Structure 1
């Protein structure tokens, strides 16, 4: 029984080793493989075709290779070798398509040097006018032999594919505004991309102003300030436009005119009523004060309008003058209603008292005259 068990074990082990050996020989480790360092490229990019060597029992001592490529997409630049490829052992002919290379190891050593990893790269550049889509590079190896000059059963043929992206659009060199709108007031003249100087009038209570602005063709806009100078002065605001390629700049200048504070003026009608109810001397004094106040107001308004007009350039047109008048807003009060005279405290007018006194004096004189005639003389 034990004898049969030992025989069975021996046969089973032999069969396992045979299966493992057959499986290993069915899927041998490849000597060489090719790969691309990137799968997607754009115009002007570099791409490498890399030759990868794998460690095997019988090291390759020599081989031939060929690289064919799409000449409408790629242009050959150079080859790059690792330190394992000694100087003088690799020869490349790049004058045609395909590119051909031959490797023969240094025979001064007793054995061929081991090759592993990325031992050789073919560098290509994508042309500027390369069409978008897929582009192929073919890699081939044959005539592989070992150090004893025995040909190895190795042949590699691979097609590598890279995706070429559409050409990149060049950034624009346009530096101009597409729109410019203040949040308060209106630009003079109305906005146009080709007009670079504007005027803007605001009331005295406006101490800052903002703009809605947009640039053309991907450019950027920067406005230098928001705050305004004191009332009655002008503030230059500059909108700087930079092109998308950062090479061109354009400035738009908005001169903001900030109005003077309005002068408060009281209604003159109560002054008239008060002057008419006062005695003559007081009324005259009050009228003089009123006239002085009116003259002072007119003088201040005239100075204000003159100062505001002086801030406007000489070439200002009718629209500017209208804007100045609207900003100054000179108040005007007129009242052409009939006058009313009021008697305060039921007082009798002076001329009526004089008439009564005169009549009374006349009557007393008449009575005295008659009395003196009638009285007897002694």
Structure 2
């Protein structure tokens, strides 16, 4: 009986020791990665040095420094100025937290720097389109006429404002308004008691508008407010302030313009967009382009480098944006938001269906380089420093880009991300599995320990 207790105790103790030390560990190591395997002259590239363990890592090559890393990483952005190969090498000794031993580490990474291609895709021939010189002449004449008209209107408004200001300065009474509002649209410019002429633009479907106004002096009478019916094009209304003690008056003028309904185009999902067929705000790298949509001429923009056509439209929320338009299919393909990030030109565009992000991400408005853009964030708070954008570069190529908030670095997501979606899901699965194993082993250890204690007690009773 004593032998049974003895052997059982030894066996339980042996298994207990095995399970206690069967915990996943990771040896000390270091690595260096690069954001892209190939870049153009003039672009920047980012090298990231990572370490498991603790110690100084010596860095040489395109980056020359020595840094302390402790289960962490650090990135270095390097500009390129000529063709060739940029390399970064690392070396050092790291302390392994598990074995308490010093482990020598080394590694390297390199990137090929090439000249930017000079050849550009040719512009597709469109016999029905006017030549570039004719288009430039037409655009110049239209722009000149519009500028002259705007100058005349501005001068008339300036004269009107100056006249009213002088009347107010010479008046014994304060005839200024304290407030002036409209029920539809918005005053342009914003209300100022010393500014007397305003423009308001409303949708073509609006048939009436309500004007509200209050005087600074409660004894001053205000006329011309209330509900006003609108004409088909533009309507002008006067809000007159007057004093009951004198015959002096002051006049504020509001001109309401009806925006005519534009031509409707759709995307593949059937969503409608209203074309703004007026003067389109210019974008660097694009030239004026005339489209033919359902027999109607539409003003657009064309980029020879990107090979895309843009039209300017209102969406369902009446927000004016650029949109990529497919002339062959006659459909809107994507919104197009031109932005400049870290001195480079990009555009925020729609993500194709076959590349959409799904698990592990959420849509968000993200602040980057002094502006707020639509993008994506990781749902896991461990990656709160990272954000994802889908951008079109200056050559018309669209990719996911990763933004690291701490280092303020924007990189291609496919190669430089701290973790890809597949790796992210794999990491969560591995983490969950490790936790289950550890809890299982801990439970087994507790049971074995209880069994060992019971055997010891029984052994003492037998003796």
- What's the TM-score, normalizing by structure 1? 0.28
In terms of Rg, which structure is larger? 1
